[in-house]
Structure 1
Amino acid sequence: MLNADSGVRTLRDRIFYGQSLVRDTLLQRTSDLVTVDPSAVELASKVFGESLSPQEFVTKVIELVRVQGDTGVRRIAQALGDELLPSFELSTDTLAAACDRADPGLDADFNLAAERIRAFSKSEMPSAIDNAELGIGQRWVPVDRTGIHVPGLAAPLASTLLMSAIPARVAGVAEIVVSTPIGPQGVLPAVALAARIANVDRVFGIGGAQAIAAMALGTETVPRCDVIAGAGNAWVFLAKQALYGSSGIALLPGPTETLIVADASADPADVAADLVAQAEHGGPASPICLTPEKSLAIRIVEEFASQVATLPRGSVACDSFVKRGGIGVIDTLAEAIVLANEYAPEHLCLLVADPDELLPNILHAGGVFVGNTSPEVFGDYVAGPSHIMPTGGTARFMSPLGVRSFLKSMAIVRLPAEQASTLAPVAARMARAEGLEGHARAADRRGKS
């Protein structure tokens, strides 16, 4: 942890002035969406007895699971020192016993969060299309089975289970499978409780790249899943990336990021608190603020230093802020929104006097948190929309996880006879223009009927 005086000085070095400097430094991402700690790479290489890049390691993990199934999963987990039970699948009694160990107040909290997630999920369900006049329509059909990976040790994100499983259930997925690493005491009570409240069907005590491979490919024990969701470390990200196509992947969430736009009306202590909350994720988390107020930037830094001084993960938060976070001082709020759209953050928070003036101009963000009463931390747990959102600039073209992540649209064509007669010669001419005589003749036959 930094001492008070040197801490503030170091954090002040993370204040950048001017649009160009902010764009070229504070808002520059690395080319990789994720980075792997060198010590983790070293441990992974020992599993196969050779020096491997993270991508090479994940490729070998996937191939081992593909060939050896459960045996491959167990070999990798044991080599990495993971806890394992004789059976990967956790019994109903095991999960119930873990639920009994959960904090008594957590049940009510999880149920409240679940109600809000469920309500939002129901509201975003798409409607079918049936245009009888044109003879076309569309149905939405859920996938049969989804797998959800839930971090369970260093970052026990029980909330991720709620945020993934409930939208899947609302979408109509028939079977929901969860994989989560276990510790010496078994599955974490909060994760077991979340699994019960979200009404998941099966829970497996495995995690990491090998768990993703098992759910994507299927093993003797773990069923093959149509869509894989959830969160995890860099190994999980790389496994999802490599297995896309073998299974549907509901987003590739990488290191978390929050960009706050603040003006003179913002309370520097609140801005700092939101940055601290982001920074304590550690590693490559990106806690960023843009403001046209130089004095506010300085006060935010002072508040940040004060708050992390008493934070259990204070050193982690400081490290994140110094490496990937900071404050950009620009001329106007309009400039801040231009930069925010370029950056396309996972979370965009508006701590300004008139957020409604800015909101229509925001084009690229996973989620927008409007005003001081809607901090991003509420989105993490209880607001309602899933907290699994696009990161690394992918909000330019991706949406947050939701019910559509577990649905497929199916086009329906039911042309009335008069439509077929009208369209047949058009289709035939287009087919012949492409040199496809077989297509043209099939169309011609319908024009004669």
Structure 2
Amino acid sequence: EPMTSLNPLQTIDQQVGEVLRVHRGMDKSAERRRVLELLTRVGLRDPEKRMSSYPHQLSGGQRQRVMIALALANEPELLIADEPTTALDVTIQAQILELLKELQQELGMAMLLITHDLGIVRKMAERVYVMNQGKVVEEGATEDIFERPGHAYTRHLLAAEPKGEPPRADETAPVIMETDNLKVWFPVKRGLLRTTVDHIKAVDGVSLKVRAGQTVGVVGESGSGKTTLGLALLRLISSDGPIVFMGRNIEDYNSSQMRPLRKSIQIVFQDPYGSLSPRLSVSQIIEEGLTIQEPGLSYEQRRARVTQALEDVGLDGGMQDRYPHEFSGGQRQRIAIARAMVLDPKFIMMDEPTSALDMSVQAQIVDLLRDLQREKNLSYLFISHDLRVVRALSNHVIVMRQGKVVEEGAGEKVFTAPESDYTKALLSAAFNLEARELAAVDE
């Protein structure tokens, strides 16, 4: 995980240099030259400037390149790559995989690639081992495994990719959430007096509508403004531009005015391991919203609502007294969805809700979200870099880049007949098509 594997208190050159000092006994000048050489080799832009950066000042893709530089510092004969692209968007994934391939050929090293993404396995591996419950259930040449799987579990994995179509949306249904020319600009301040000298335009003039029972998918590379857009719509960060929820402009609502609306506006976060408090039981996690929004409920009524919410997401209501560490990643994400659903919301922002899950669990969560949408007529803003999941869930898709919408339209149209070069590049990276466009739009 590039977001957490680097020490937040040390600069990049300190972290890479430590490996060289400990294992190679290099002096300071030789260490600096080698760090610069490694960062250049892994394709980090402006390596001399980046050497003095801290991890939080780098993007996910840049951090992953630093992690690869750390691994290569001692010129290993074997590189173990454990889920090297899980938290990265599709264009950065393609770049990291290409980098690993080039380095492998250049250094002649072996690679053990551990991943739940079968597309990456097919692209990178010559030989595949399939594991289930601690045992190897099948092994063989990559082409044989994918074309002629022999074990039932392997066939299950290959068939588990999220498929199907989103529930049909009524184009005349009332608009639940709407914004026009929304902007979120963060000031860049410098000098002793902290004067604003520029702005980071995280969201720059975005307009969208989400109707009842509809899913609007938001895609784009890391830093494109996807999550910032969602947080602004939920009034969790300041923004400029009208935000209309169920007919009311909530742009200028303060926290006390927003509180009664929070029941109808919910969020499911990306990380099922980090978004649930380890100190609270599942019951306490799910009923927290009920305690705030419906304080008149008795203990028995809250327990009943929690039980129903768990059963709605396919979990046993009797599990509510357990703690998050007792559940798998897929089960934890179901608990996070139950926490959002227990208040009977109208609009839910889904921020990368499947990115931390393996493909078979992704497919289960996608099916669950579709079923809940049909049953409860829910509206989703679905933010993801996984275009396969977006395609399976979204009626309407907007593509963002550098804070702006570069393309939007009906989901299937965007996926089958993209118009912008950037959208074509995203699709080529995600679906393993010819990726010539990537270089053209890479900055």
Q: Which bracket does the TM-score occupy, shorter chain normalised?
A: under 0.3
Q: Which structure has the higher relative contact order (CA within 8 Å, separation 6+)?
A: 1
Larger radius of gyration: 1
Q: TM-score, normalised by structure 1?
A: 0.27
| Structure (1 or 2) with the greater strand fraction | 2
| Structure (1 or 2) with the greater helix fraction | 1
Q: TM-score, normalised by structure 2?
A: 0.27
